[in-house]
Amino acid sequence: CMFSPNNGWTSGAYRCHCRKGFYSAMRSPEFNGTLVESAWKEKEVIHSPNYDLLYTCKPCPPGCEMCVDDSPCLSPYNWAFRISLLVISMLCIVLSIVLACYVYRYRKLKVIKVASPVFLCITLLGCAIMYTEMAAIFPALDVYSCVATKWTRHMGFCLTYSGLLLKTWRVSLTYRVKSAHKLKLTDRQLLQWLFPILFIMGIYLGSWTISSPPEAIYIHDWFNLRFRQCDYNWWDHSLAIGEFLFLLWGIRVCYNVRNAESFFNEAKHISWAIYNITCVNIIMVMIHLVILPSADPDVKYLFGFIRTQLSTTVTIVFIFGPKFYRVIKGQGDTWDNRARARGVTASFSLNGVGLVHEETTDLYQENEELKEEVQKLAAQIEFMRIVHMEMNNRHLKPKHGSFFSQSNTAQSPIVRSIYTKFESTDSPGSRICPAAELISERV
């Protein structure tokens, strides 16, 4: 109550108003002091309710700094709708864990082994972390939920797409090799590139959390009602630019391997996932900042759910759908015949996508067998060349017998020595390639 001048030193020479955060019951900005004292006397003498009904200040509704009535200032939350979306996200987390268990169970099948089970599990771990963002933004936001939102979103993204891009980068390096020497990049070598990426992301998020943790600020929806949303500052913008450049590098790598052939089309599926997450992020940023910046909290929660599903769930479908489809059909341990028809070798596929150290011995044995086949074929060609030279060479003295006669006494020493060498090379226990057998039959 403030003194009113020019009214003399009399009772009621003042005017009253409600403090900040309260409103008048009679919706008047001020009270006349004389009327207030009169209503108070009536309340004391005859217990009149006028003072309590007309000259009291009531607190504003939650979230209102100033108000004139009891109209709400905060945007309402549809908790049933939000709980249903949260339950779906939690089921997706459980599904990711189940898929990781199945990857470990079928890790020795070719369709899983070629794709590197370690990186498949890392991808599923990142997807599960990205799903937990829906739990972080479920309640009314505060500092702790905003910090959890940033960590789950960016660390899950880093885990998921770093694993996918590193495998695609391995395919790109293998595809660009023009020499006969094989490029071997094992999972351990790729993990040595993955850990620094995760370490840098952890340092950035930790510095962000300690120095300037993201706060929940009030914004207005399209009904001019307020709700809390995590603040976006230069920390968010810098990290968003870095992730966008990371995705651009991934698109470039995927473009380089667009013509690379490999078993089970692993590189193609990863490329689809990278293209998808890039498009989804760009579209969602446009919706949040340009198209619907004043959407209510339930709509924004729905957009967050859609973004998570279109990026994370679609990635899981692209990467793991074809693999487990082959496992269900019983073809998980057989090579892709279409890839073989296009001339893709097993060694290229293993080098390009998911070279695992368990395959090293088999590849070495395959190379040794190939060398033996080439040596046998070379010995047969040399043998046929010399025999043909002696048979049709008019400068050599003709013999009564020939190499193909029943008697081997008439053979020349050169033919006999070559034949002996050929017999020692092509022992009964050795395998002869079909081309060599065909040539020997024709001779």
Q: What is the pLDDT of residues 196-236, one digit of tens each?
A: 999 999 999 999 999 989 888 888 888 888 888 888 889 98
The model's pTM: 0.67
Phi first, then psi: what are they for 108, rounded to 5°?
-90, -10
Q: Is 191 left (phi over 0), alpha (psi -120 to 50) or beta?
A: alpha
CB 221 within 8 A of CB 297: yes
Beta bridge partners, 226, equal 74, 220
CA distance 301 to 55: 42
Element (H, E) at 375: helix 360-392
Segment holding 219, helix H or strand E: strand 216-220
Per-residue confidence (pLDDT) for residue 89, from 0 to 100: 94
Calpha distance 216→193 (Å, rounded)? 35
Q: Which of 328, 442, 303, 302 is nearest to 380 (CA)?
A: 442
Ranges of residues in the chain with a pLDDT under 50 are: 180, 340-361, 403-411, 425-432, 435-443
Cα atoms in the Cβ-side hemisphere of radius 13 Å centred on 237: 5
CA distance 6 to 2: 13
| Long-range pairs for 374-382: beta carbons < 8 A, 24 or more residues apart | 375/425, 376/425, 376/426, 376/430, 376/432, 376/433, 376/436, 377/433, 377/435, 377/436, 379/421, 379/422, 379/425, 379/426, 380/422, 380/426, 380/436, 380/439, 380/440, 381/439, 382/418
Q: What angle do CA 30, 218, 141 make, to 5 degrees?
A: 130
